[in-house]
Structure formats: C-alpha cells, structure tokens
Amino acid sequence: MSTVRSYYLPEPTPWPILGAAALLAMAIGAVSWINHLAEGPYIVCGGVVLLAVMLIGWFSTVIREGNSRLYNGQVDSSFRLGMAWFIFTEAMVFAALFGALFYLRLYSVPDLASGDSASLWPGFHAGWPTAGPEFKGSFTPLAAWGVPAINTAVLLCSGALVTLASSAIERGNLGRFKWALAVVIVLAVTFLCLQYSEYHRAFTRLNVDLSTGVYGATFFLLTGLHGIHVAIGTVFLAIILTRTLRGKITQEHHFAFTAGSWYWHFVGVAWVVLFILVYCI
C-alpha cells in the first residue's frame, strides 16, 4: 500500500545555526565598535560575511530542492504564508518609524518650545523641519520636487512593469516577462543612483547629515532603510531574471517571482508613504 506524503520534511541543515552565529557576531561587533574597541569593525565584517554565506547557501538549497520537484502543495502554501508574514513584519517596522516621526513632529518638538522647556532654550522655534535646539549651524531641508519626485515616478513605473511581468508569466509569455523584468531592474538601479546623488547633494550642499539633529537622523534612517530594501529587491529580481534565462523559472513554477513581486509592490507603497510624510508634509 502506498503512502501519501502530506507534508515535506527537509533534511537536517546547518544554515539556521550559521545564521544565528552571524547575527550574534554582528551584535557583539556593533557593541564593541560603539565602545571604541579596535576589533569591533572586524567582528561586524565577519558577521556580515557569515550572513552572506548563510543566505547564499540556504537559498541555493531551497532552489535545488524546488528544481528537483521535492515540494508539494503544502510547502507551496507555507512559502506563500511565510512571505506574507515577512512582508507584514517589514510593514510594521516602517509603521513604527513613521509613528516615531509623527510623535516627534506633533509632540516632542513642540514641547521643547512650550511650558518649562521653553525657558531652557529661549528663542527656539518648534516648527518642522528642525534640527533641535542644540544644533548651532544651519541647513536646507530637501524639497519634494526634483530627485524625490522622479524617484517616485520611477518606482511607480517599475511596479506597473512588475504587474505586467506577472501577467506575462501567468500566460506563459516568457519573452515579455524577461524584458519587463529587465526594465524593472534598470529602473531599480536608476532609483538607487538617483538616491545616492540626493545624499551627495544633502552632504555637500545642504548641510544635512546624521549630525543635523532630529531632522537629519529621521531623514537618513527612513530613506536609508528604504534604500536597503530597494537594493535587496533589485538583487532578488536580478537572480530571478538570471534563473529565467537559464530555464529555471517557467509558467508552472514561478513562485520565486511571485514572492519577489509582492516584495517589490511593498517597497513601492512604502516609498509613496515615505515621500508624502518625509518630503511633502
């Protein structure tokens, strides 16, 4: 009598242990670095290398198992649910940072210019953007129009092309899928290059950096974190395009792209909210 496998049981793997060791090394290195220990940066770099090895090895294992058709419907559902929860956690990270920005602008900064706090920093204007009462220099806030507006258009166009690529792969039109994905990658690299030019302008011409009080800290934290997500998504989509060219992504087996498309749409929505809250309001 044959048995029906209801779930997939993976082989024992060292990757979770290696990933945990990498994160521990990065945390220890960061603490050492903050406390001015000479070995801190080297420990952080070692942790980053371990993390990269873990990610490459683990994803290679998953890809190899998928190509061998070892997964069943239960695994496919688990992958989809796991990706959905991952995107949800990322959305909560941005929501927390947007909430912190909201609290700073509506409560913390105004409180510094009212009540007993006003006597500590006489003449401090509590409007936004501000670097705070301790900042002695001057700076120019980054305007919404220009590079930020162009980058918004770039991400919106890339999101539309990802939707086009999704439709193409569902219909089996791999030719349209490949060129749409290639254009998305070009637009993603364009976004990162434009963001770099905006950072260079902020540092060299506008006097905005991480030392520019609360404005500089929140600006670079939010835009930098988003930029990291764009970079990760770009690498992800580039790998998918490479696998497609090698015949590994097909109409029947393309969940890797589906997960990547979800992630990319999340990146686009996060940028639109960031653009409104950081640049426009």
Q: What is the dihedral of CA 244, 247, 249, 251, to 10 degrees?
A: 120
Distance of CA 266 to the CA centre of its chain: 9
Q: Which of 125, 124, 134 is nearest to 217 (CA)?
A: 134
Number of neighbours of residue 136 by Cβ within 10 angstroms: 6
Q: Evaluate if residue 34 carries a pLDDT over 60.
A: yes
Q: Which residues contact 150 (CB under 8 A, 6 or more apart)?
A: 194
CA distances from 49 to 18, 22, 272 (A): 11, 8, 33
Top-confidence range, 136-150, 166-180, 182-196, 243-257: 182-196
pLDDT (tens digit per residue) in 112-162:
877 777 667 777 777 888 888 877 878 888 888 999 999 999 999 999 999
pLDDT at position 2 is: 44
Q: Evaluate if residue 85 carries a pLDDT over 80.
A: yes
Domains of the chain with bracketed CATH? 14-69 (1.10.287.70), 71-280 (1.20.120.80)
pLDDT (tens digit per residue) in 156-178:
999 999 999 999 999 989 999 99
Average pLDDT over residues 74-99: 91
With cut-offs at 50, 70 and 90, classify the pLDDT of residue 194.
very high
- Decide: helix, strand or coil at residue 64: helix
d(CA 16, CA 33): 25
φ, ψ for residue 58, nearest 5 deg: -70, -45
pTM of the model: 0.85
With cut-offs at 50, 70 and 90, classify the pLDDT of residue 1.
very low
